[in-house]
Amino acid sequence: MSEKGQVPPLQRRTVVLMAATAVAMFAFWSMLNTLQSPNPPAVSTRFKGAPLFITLGDSITQLGVDPKRLGFQALLSSDYVRKADVVNRGLSGWTTQGWLPKVPLLIDEWQYKPPSLITIFLGANDAALIDSVDKGQHVPLEEYTANLRTMVNLFHAAFPSCSLLFLTPPVVDDARWPSRANLETKKYAAACVQVANETHVPVVDFWTRLQGRTDLLADGLHFNEAGNVVAHEMITQAISQFYPHLVPSALPDEF
């Protein structure tokens, strides 16, 4: 320090140079962090890979991945090998009531690779008889209807370009699965069709189409091998009719 408490010129220039260097380094690291931000720019060159198809549902969907049963989802995966990734989100025992609060988690999971198709196959458990051993699964018809509608709204808001496809609960064999009744399930299938019409989402009406075909059920509720083959055919026909841009022949090979 000088007698007047001033910094000598040489030392002052050194301090200024060091400060300028620090500012420059801070600006560089800020720019680098921006470039590496987890929020990429709107226009991204990120490799997207094959389209993503989601099969969402309960145990009927969960078992749809079983090759021993010729599961309908396993057959879809075979159809779309090198064309699309068909992911199973079927959870045994689940209902629209259980699924609805989980939808935001699914949306968060898929935000970096939005699905091209989601099938919604729920209602078989919602329709459980209220006085049966499965009464804990029962969801009132009005709530079931509202839940489906909300799920559609959430998916449409999150993934505007995603195609949706409803699948109604199928026919039930009361004698083999006494906690269900075919006529009760009919109400839920009709509600699913109603929501589909209101929201302009295509629907595969398994309940109506499979009346009298309890031979397609392994245990009175779930598809057997023949039932899965029929379900697969109905789903692929619906995709071909309503979403022709998603049939395997319309999609390029990946790699």
pTM above 0.85, yes or no: no
**For residue 60, is it within any domain?**
yes
Q: How confident is the model at residue 100 (pLDDT cuts 50, 70, 90)?
A: very high
The verdict on whether 59 is a catalytic residue reads yes
Are the CB atoms for 33 and 99 separated by under 8 Å? no
Are the CB atoms for 71 and 63 separated by under 8 Å? yes
Q: Which two tokens stand for residue 225?
A: 């091998």
**For residue 74, is it within any domain?**
yes
**For residue 125, is it within any domain?**
yes
Q: What is the pLDDT of residues 124-158, one digit of tens each?
A: 999 999 999 999 999 999 999 999 999 999 999 99
Indicate the helix (H) or strand (E) that contains 226: helix 225-242
Q: Residue 29 CA to chain centroid, in angstroms? A: 38
CA torsion sign, 199 to 204 to 206 to 208?
positive
Q: Across the chain, which distance is largest between two alpha carbons, in Å? A: 107
Catalytic residue among 78, 108, 219, 245: 219
| Per-residue pLDDT at 41 exceeds 50 | no
Domain of residue 94 covers 52-248
The verdict on whether 200 is a catalytic residue reads no
Q: Which two tokens stand for residue 72?
A: 């309908």
Q: Give CA angle at 126 (120, 132), nearest 5°.
A: 150
Domain count, the chain: 1
Q: Give CA angle at 97 (92, 100), nearest 5°.
A: 95
Task: Report d(CA 39, CA 223) in Å as an integer.
Answer: 43
**For residue 10, is it within any domain?**
no
Report percent pLDDT > 70 for the chain.
82
Average pLDDT, the chain: 89
Q: How confident is the model at residue 4 (pLDDT cuts 50, 70, 90)?
A: very low
| Per-residue pLDDT at 191 exceeds 50 | yes
| Per-residue pLDDT at 26 exceeds 80 | no
Q: How many angstroms separate the first and last alpha carbons of the chain? A: 70
Catalytic residue among 44, 59, 79, 215: 59
Q: CATH number for the domain including 127?
A: 3.40.50.1110
Q: What pLDDT was estimated at residue 22?
A: 45
Residue where the block lists tokens 């699964």: 137
Catalytic residue among 77, 116, 222, 232: 222
Are the CB atoms for 110 and 68 separated by under 8 Å? no
Residues composing the chain: 255
**For residue 166, is it within any domain?**
yes
The verdict on whether 222 is a catalytic residue reads yes
For residue 164, give the nearest of 154, 152, 149 by alpha carbon: 152
For residue 75, give the nearest of 234, 232, 254 by alpha carbon: 232
Task: Report d(CA 232, CA 183) in Å as an integer.
Answer: 24
The mean pLDDT of 238-250, rounded to a whole number, is: 99
SS3 for 221?
coil
The mean pLDDT of 73-98, rounded to a whole number, is: 98
**For residue 2, is it within any domain?**
no
| Per-residue pLDDT at 13 exceeds 80 | no
The mean pLDDT of 172-201, rounded to a whole number, is: 98
SS3 for 193?
helix
| Per-residue pLDDT at 76 exceeds 90 | yes
Q: What pLDDT was estimated at residue 8?
A: 52
Torsion of Cα atoms, 185 then 191 then 194 then 200, to 10°: -90
Q: What pLDDT was estimated at residue 189?
A: 99
**For residue 213, is it within any domain?**
yes
**For residue 16, is it within any domain?**
no
